[in-house]
Structure 1
Amino acid sequence: MHEQNWHMKQQLVPYFQDLTSESYKLLDSLRLSSEVIPLEELLADLSNKLASLKASIIYNYKNLNRPQYDWSEVQAAPGVGLNSIGMLSDRLSTLIIKEWCLRNKTNPNSEKANDLYQTHTMDIIHALANARPGSSSMNTKITYHKSNVTANSWEEAFYGLLSTNILNWESQEILYVKDITSLPCEELRSYIAWFSFGNIQRNEYIQYCEELYWR
């Protein structure tokens, strides 16, 4: 069993590295702005771009040929905690976005980007390669709201999660570069509504990632 686990990890680490590389290409295609864009304009433009790129990126993800195993032999066990595929996929997608921004947005810093990849991203990739079935719903808010997202494959679920986190990342830029107290009340309401919806959507994709990976 230990030899089988070692063999699985040897194949899964390069797979997740390739998945990360393909995800950088998505961000290259989006050409995210260094300027803060009003929420309504940002969501409409970025959502349309993500929708148009969805099929081709998922196709590329599937062509990575994720190593297949008899996952029925990989038993769920206590102690997985936040190291589930769903939660780790969420973390990986955020690190992908952060690294891309460090390389391409205002005041690019390749040294910081390289350090982020070698320390944090590779750590998450190894954790993904070692992951066992767990529960990714532990961070889900108690709510009656639904975002109606769907995913039919692990690759589609990861794309949905990455896309949602890109939208969340970009929409939150205003929190770090502007005084939000100066915004009109209606605009503030729009941000609050989006952050709530975006977080619900993110949680649903996290759960899809967890469920579909092990099928």
Structure 2
Amino acid sequence: MKQQLVAYFQRLTDESYQLLDVVKLPSDIIPLQEFIPDFSAKLANLKSSTIANYKNLNRPQCNWCKMETNLGVGLNSIGMLSDRLSILIIKEWCLRNKTNPNGVKADDLYRTQTMDIIHALARASPGSSSMNTKITHHKSEVTANSWEEAFYGLLATNILNWESQEVLYIKDIKSLPCEELRGYIAWFSFGNIQRNEYIQYCEELYWRQD
């Protein structure tokens, strides 16, 4: 079963790269008020077809009742590992396609970090991903009815989070106008709440027995 799951998560990763090839993240920083609506719309338009492609991968069904469910899963839960995988997918795509592409570094990232996470996913047991959830009264309105929809939502949210955070690493944020800076702070708060909810959906729906 482990090797079947490793192969499945490799195919899931490949399918997610194809999504990023269509979305085409920009090399230059786009103002938040332009980037979020534009790329949110792109990702919404691609949602149904990508989820269908994910489902066509025919994820091997684990009998979680027969799996080890003792304490000790920690951060190696499906939800937390899915979050890490989605971020590595984005990072590798950026290394291959953005300014000054570095295929050697991208290959090394896949061979070491991505494959490590894929093998961890293949060995994962039911856990408690909600440990990553902030104590807050704020809620997003995300929903997911299948593992594939939850993973897509997590990947899409992390794409938006990744790009919106580029300003922190490229520009001097102290030079940003106050209104623009408040916009980034508001988005980071909302985006991380949404991300945490999708992490929880990934955990719950992966182990759900239909």
TM norm. shorter chain > 0.5? yes
Secondary structure at the counterpart of residue 69 of structure 2? coil
- Contact 2:6–2:118, Cα closer than 8 Å, also in 1: yes
Alignment of 1:1-215 (within 5 A): 8-215=1-208
Secondary structure at the counterpart of residue 155 of structure 1? helix
Aligned residues, how many? Answer: 208
* Identical-pair percentage: 79
Compute the displacement of 1:75 (Å): 4.1
Q: Distance in 2 between matches of 1:59 and 1:115?
A: 30
RMSD between superposed Cα atoms in Å: 0.6
Secondary structure at the counterpart of residue 89 of structure 1? helix
Provide TM-score, normalisation by structure 2: 0.98
Q: Distance in 2 between matches of 1:78 and 1:136?
A: 13
Runs of at least 5 residues in structure 2 that lack an aligned partner in the other structure: none
Provide TM-score, normalisation by structure 1: 0.96
Compute the displacement of 1:213 (Å): 0.1
Secondary structure at the counterpart of residue 62 of structure 2? coil
Q: Distance in 2 between matches of 1:95 and 1:213?
A: 20
Q: Distance in 2 between matches of 1:206 and 1:69?
A: 19
Q: Distance in 2 between matches of 1:76 and 1:140?
A: 21
- Contact 1:84–1:136, Cα closer than 8 Å, also in 2: yes
Q: Following superposition, which runs of at least 4 residues in structure 1 exceed 3 angstroms of deviation? A: none
Q: Deviations over 1:132-160 (max 9, x none)?
A: 00000101100000001000000000000
Q: Which amino acid in the other structure matches residue 122 of structure 1? A: M
Secondary structure at the counterpart of residue 64 of structure 1? coil
Compute the displacement of 1:76 (Å): 1.9
Q: Distance in 1 between matches of 2:86 and 2:145?
A: 19
Q: Distance in 2 between matches of 1:90 and 1:10?
A: 21
Q: Distance in 1 between matches of 2:62 and 2:97?
A: 37
Q: Deviations over 1:83-105 (max 9, x none)?
A: 00000000000000000000000
Compute the displacement of 1:72 (Å): 2.2
Q: Distance in 2 between matches of 1:188 and 1:162?
A: 25
